[in-house]
Structure 1
Amino acid sequence: MRKIVMLGANARTQRSASSIQLPTEYSPSASSAPYYNYTTGDFIVDLRAKKKDDDEILLDQEDDKKKLKELLHERWENAREFNAFNYSLNCMYRCLDGKYDLSMQLNIERGELRRKPMHFKNIKEPFNHLRFNFTKLHDKEILFYLKCEDEPISDDPLDRHLVAVNSSPLERDHSLIIPSVNKCHPQVLTLQAVRIAVDLMLLVDDDTFHILFNSLLGQASVNHLHLHAMYWPYDSDLIHRKCEPLHDVPDAFVIRPPAWICPAIVFQLAKIEDYETFKRNIFKCVEYLTETNQAHNMFLARAQPIRISGAEKEEDRRGERPQLVTCYIFPRMNMIGAKPPSNFNPAANELAGNLTSYTIRFFESANEQAVIRIIEEEASLDDDTFQSLCFDLADVLIGRSVGTSRPVDLDVLEGLTSPEIDELRDSFQSFMPRSPSIRHRNSGSRSQSDDGCPPKLDALN
C-alpha cells in the first residue's frame, strides 16, 4: 500500500480566461504545440507481453521518437510556467476498509475553483458557441496534436485532434482529449472519439493510465466533446472482479452488485485482430444509450483477462497475467441540472472506485457503506432497469431488432424513463436500501451508517 503524498505546496495560481475564439478553419501554424505522430505498429496490446528484446528495440527508437507518456508529462509540466492551472496540486489519499478496496483523494481546491458546471436537460444538446468551449483555449494550454501516420484518424485534413491541460486537475498529467476540436461537436461520443481513446490506451506504457468520459446528465460540465486522460496511484478493484456474459453476445460482459458497487457493461481487447470490433462494440453501446437519453460514464483501464468463473475477486499478485485494454460503460441515473460539489460527485472515476472528496470532513469520516449509499442514490440504476437495458443492448450489439431478447413481462416498462420506473416501483412497495453491507438490517436510520471511527490515514511515498 502506498503512503500519503503531498503534491506541490506552492501558492495558488489563478488561471486567466480568454475571450478569443479560434475560427473553425484555423491551421496548425496557429499553435506552437507539437504533433505526436504514431502508427498502429506502436500499439501495445498486453503490457506484460513485452520481452527484453522488445524493450531494447523501443530504447533504440526513443532517440528519434519520444514516448507518448514522456511527451505528455513534459508538456504538462511546462504548462505550469504559463499559469495554466487553477491551483497547485496539494492532495492526500486514503484507502477505505471494506469489500471493494475504494481509494479516496482529498482535493478541496478542485471543489472550490473548478469551472462551474453548466445546466443541461438532455443527453444530446446542441453545441453553443456562446458558452465556454475548447476553441477558447490558450495556445500554451494545448499540449500536443495527435496524428496516426498509417491509419488517419479522419479523412478531413483540417481536423485537429488535440490533448490539452485540464485546468482543474485531479493528478499530475491530468489532461483533456479533444477530437476534431474545430468541428465543435457536442459532448456525445463519436466513433472517432472512441478510436482516439483506444489508440491512446494502446500507446501509453503504464498500467495506472486511464481514459474517462462523462456524458451530459452524467457529470459532464462542458458541452464540447472531450475525454479525460489521467493517472491514478491505486489500482481500481474493478479490474480484479469476475464478470458474467451479456446474454448471447460474444466478447461482451456485465458486472453488477454485489460483484461491484454499480452495474456496468464490459468489453476487452484481447488481440489486435479484434481492434475494429472492440471499438465498434463500445460505440454501439454508447450510441444506444445516447439515443435513449440514458446518462452514462466510461472508464478505460488495463485489466487482467475477464473471468466468468471462479472467485468474485482475484488479484494477480504475482504479475503473470496479461494487462489488456478494458472498457467499462456505466449506464446511470440522469442528473438533471448542475449539482454543486458537496462530499463527492459520482462520475466515471468514482464509479470505478477512485473517489475525490471536496471536504476534509467527508475525507476523514467516510466509510465504504456511506460511499455506496451516495452512489446508489445519485448514480446506480436499479436491477430491473439495468436488466432491461442489457436485453436491449444485446440486440443492438448482435444486430437484431431491439426488444427481440426482452422477456414478455418486461414489455410493460417499455418507453418509461429510469425516474418513471422508479416512481412506479415506489408506488407498489416501500423503499429498502440496496447496499450489500446494510441489507441484513431490519431497521435503523440510514444516517447511522456514517458513524464509527474513520479509517486510519496511511502516509504514501
Structure 2
Amino acid sequence: VRQHLRLDPISCTVRNLWESSSSSMSVANTDTYEFSDSEFIYQTRPWVDKEASQLSRFDIELQKRWNKAMSLGVFRYGIDHIVTRVIPGPKRYIGQLNTLRATERRKPQEISSVNQPFNDKAFSFSWVKSEEILFNLQNVTTSKKSITDDGVSRETNGTDVQSPHCGQNGNSHDLSSSLGDAIHSQSSTDGEVKPERHTLIVNVSPMEFGHCLLVPQIDSHRPQVLTQTSIRVAIETMLLSKHRGIRMGFNSLCAFASVNHLHFHLYYLEQELIVDYFPVHHLGGRYFEFTGLPCPGFALQLYGTTVSEMARQTHRISSYFHENDIAHNIFLCRGSVFSEERNSMLTTIRLFIWPRKKFIGQKSADEFNVACIELGGHLPIKEVEGYYKLTETDVDAIIADACLPPEQYKDIRDHVIKMGLEEADKLQRNL
C-alpha cells in the first residue's frame, strides 16, 4: 500500500494561494506559479543511485496541491489500489494494474482524423471544475519578450535557456516552422504584454501519483496538435522538477488522445524505464533513432542545445506528421545523455516521438492501449488476468501491432534524416 506524501506549505512565488475547494476559481483567476530560467534543473540523480528522488520547489508545490485535491475527493478514485510488477525480460516493462482507470475514466471523444478541428461544443479543459485546477505556469523570463510559434522573438530583452555543455551544436538559429503564427504573449488593451496561460489540471482518473494534465495556451482553444510554444512549455515544465521519475507524454489525435484540446500528461513513476537509458542511433543533425521497443521512433535530447532549439526541432517532425496525417505519440523523461552509459551521472531530458498506426474506434488490446506511456515501457493494465499473465513476448506483440508498415516507416525515416542533414548544414553555414 503506497502512502502519499503530505507536505507543509512552503515559501514560494505562487500568487493568490489556493483557497478552499468551495471557492469559485476559473482558469482566468487561478494561482500562478512564477519561475525563471534560473530555476531549471538540468541533471538529476541516475537510477543507480538508490537514494530517494529529490524534490524541487515545483515538485513540492505540485504534490502538495495534488494531495489536497485527493483529500477533498476531487478524483474519481484513489490510487492505493494500484499494484506494480516488473515483467521479466531484458526490457523490464513496468506493468501496473489499474482497473478503476479502465472503468471510471471519462468516455473518449470520437476522433476520426489527425487534423480534426477544435469543437467549441465538445468537452474541453476550459470546462473543468475549479477544484481540478492546480495552478498556471508563467516563465517570467520568457514573458518579458514576445515569442511566436515560429520561434521568432519580437523583442531582445529576454534570454534563451542553454543546456550545460552547449557548444557549437547547441547554438540557436531560429527558423520559420510550418505551423502556427499565434503570438505566445498577447498584447492587452493598455499595450502591455499579456502572457498566455499554461495550466496544470489534475487528471481525475489518475494513472499514477501526481498525474495531471499540462494544458499549454489554454485560452487559445487549440486542437490536439503540437505548437512550438507547447513543446517549449513541456520541456520547461520537465526542467522545473528534480525528480528523476517525472514523466510527460502526448498522444496525437488517432493515437489515443481522448480529448481534442491541446494537452500533455504529467506524472511521477518510481521505477526506471527502458527509455531512460537505452542507446539510440544517430540519423543526422540532432535527430536520433530509438529501436529499443518493437515500435521504432525518433529521439532528441536537451544536452548540447537550448530549450527553444529542441522545441523547434521537435516541432519540425510533429508538423511533418500532422501535415501528412500521421498519428504519433511523444514521451519525455530524465535519462542518460545519449553517448553515455546507463549508469552515467551525466543526465538530460530525453524526448521520443513515434509515428504509428491510426486508432479510429476499433477494438484495442484487452490488456492495454498502445499510447505514449506504453511506448515508454510503462503499461497501465486494464484487467487482472492480463496483469499476472502478460510476458515480455506478449507485450512486444501488442506494441508491434501499433507499428506502421516497414515501408511507410522507412519513408518517414528517410525524411527525418533529410531534415537532420538540412539542420546540420544550416548550422555549419551560420558558424
For structure 1, the residue ranges without an aligned partner over 5 or more in a row are 9-26, 50-58, 309-313, 401-461
1:129-188 deviations in whole A, cap 9, x for unaligned? 221111111111110001011112721126321100001111111000001211110000
1:97 aligns with 2:91: no
How far is the alpha carbon of 1:7 from its aligned partner? 6.2
1:85 aligns with 2:75: yes
Corresponding residue number in structure 1 for 2:413: 390
Letter in 2 for 1:151: T
Alignment match of 2:348 (pick from 301, 324, 335): 324
For structure 2, the residue ranges without an aligned partner over 5 or more in a row are 5-23, 47-53, 148-183, 187-193, 424-431
Alignment match of 1:234 (pick from 265, 271, 295): 271
Compute the TM-score of the two structures, normalised by the length of structure 2: 0.76
1:392-418 deviations in whole A, cap 9, x for unaligned? 122334449xxxxxxxxxxxxxxxxxx
Corresponding residue number in structure 1 for 2:395: 371
Alignment match of 2:225 (pick from 188, 213, 218): 188
Letter in 2 for 1:395: K
Aligned 8 A contact 1:123 1:215 in 2: yes
Pick closer, same or farther for the CA change 1:341–1:82 going to 2, 3 Å: farther
Pick closer, same or farther for the CA change 1:231–1:338 going to 2, 3 Å: farther
How far is the alpha carbon of 1:103 from its aligned partner? 0.8
How far is the alpha carbon of 1:341 from its aligned partner? 7.1
Q: Aligned ranges for residues 379-418 of structure 1 at < 5 Å?
A: 379-399=402-422
Aligned counterparts of 1:113 and 1:141: Cα–Cα separation in 2: 16
Letter in 2 for 1:285: I
Letter in 1 for 2:403: S
1:222 aligns with 2:259: yes
How far is the alpha carbon of 1:86 from its aligned partner? 1.0
Secondary structure of 1:253's aligned partner:
strand
Aligned counterparts of 1:183 and 1:260: Cα–Cα separation in 2: 36
Aligned length: 350
Q: Aligned ranges for residues 89-128 of structure 1 at < 5 Å?
A: 89=79, 90-128=81-119
Corresponding residue number in structure 1 for 2:9: none
1:250 aligns with 2:273: no
1:179-203 deviations in whole A, cap 9, x for unaligned? 1211110000111110111001111
The structure with the greater share of residues assigned to strand is: 2
Corresponding residue number in structure 1 for 2:36: 39
Compute the TM-score of the two structures, normalised by the length of structure 1: 0.72
Aligned 8 A contact 2:209 2:269 in 1: no
Q: Judge which range, 77-86 or 391-400, deviates more.
A: 391-400
Alignment match of 2:358 (pick from 323, 327, 334): 334
Aligned 8 A contact 1:31 1:139 in 2: no
Secondary structure of 1:230's aligned partner:
strand
Corresponding residue number in structure 1 for 2:318: 286
Secondary structure of 1:93's aligned partner:
strand
1:266 aligns with 2:299: yes
Aligned 8 A contact 1:7 1:91 in 2: no
Corresponding residue number in structure 1 for 2:137: 146
How far is the alpha carbon of 1:211 from its aligned partner? 1.0
Secondary structure of 1:186's aligned partner:
coil
Aligned 8 A contact 1:187 1:216 in 2: yes
Q: Percent identity?
A: 29
1:11-52 deviations in whole A, cap 9, x for unaligned? xxxxxxxxxxxxxxxx99766632111111111222259xxx
